[in-house]
Amino acid sequence: MNNYETILIINPNLSSKVADFQTKFEKLLTDNSFEIKKVEDIGRRQLAYSINNHHKGHYLLYRMQGDPKNISEIETKIKYDEAIIRHLILAVKDLSGEDSVLLTEALESKNKKSESTEESEKVIKKDKKLEKSTEEVSDKEDSKDSPTEVEEE
Amino acid sequence: MKKFQLPNNFDYKNTDILKQFITETGKIVPARVTGISASNQRKITKSIKIARFLALLPYTDMHQ
């Protein structure tokens, strides 16, 4: 029994059907007597360079335990699957149960996005307040200015 | 603060740490510049190469 970490980059156009793909792939793993320890659906991510004219990819991460003999079967299956634009199976010493950096980053950016929309709304409100205050100030200035003008005349 | 911060565990997924060890053009910074131990430099180099294959880091800045 060895520990493995599998990363799959899935065609971003099939991103909506990832759940189906995952069940299919997990079945393939369990059929080949692999024990899945952790699955991470990292989601769509900008690729550092284009692969087959795709600029984005849907990342999936599997941490699993299994027999090295069965790895080649999975690799051949992955090779002929057109939904997968890139894959890598790594042998690792230990399987950590913690979330990977990629997943935490993806979650953070999602949170930031939702926050930023809220923040932008707040900013708009603040701007309105500022406008009001500036208007008041300008009114005061006008009132100040008017008597001096009169004096000049 | 040191210019090159080493991670606690070497992970190809931690791109923020790995980005310190590549130049603007995407090349790996040599050990003579980073000043880290040979063993750590090998680990960093390996993780950068894995990250490049998975399109987490660029090979070069000339990608189309």
Q: How near does any CA of chain A get to the CA of B58, in Å?
A: 5
Q: How many CB pairs under 8 A join A and B?
A: 34
DSSP conformation class of A61: E
The span from the CA of A19 to the CA of A122, in Å, is: 36
In chain A, what residues touch B16 (CB-CB under 8 Å)?
101
pTM: 0.75
CB contact under 8 A, B54 and A90: no
- Among B3-7, B29-33, B43-47, which is the least confidently predicted range? B3-7
CB contact set of B57 (below 8 Å; sequence gap of 6+): A48, B15, B18, B19, B22, B26, B48, B51
In chain B, what residues touch A7 (CB-CB under 8 Å)?
54
ipTM of the complex: 0.82
Q: What domains appear along chain B, each with residue ranges and CATH number?
A: 8-64 (4.10.640.10)
Q: Most A CBs within 10 Å: which of B49, B54, B63, as the mutation test of the A interface? A: B54
Mind listing the pLDDT tens digit for each residue in A56-96? 999 999 999 988 888 888 899 888 888 899 999 999 888 77
Mind listing the pLDDT tens digit for each residue in A3-14? 999 999 999 988
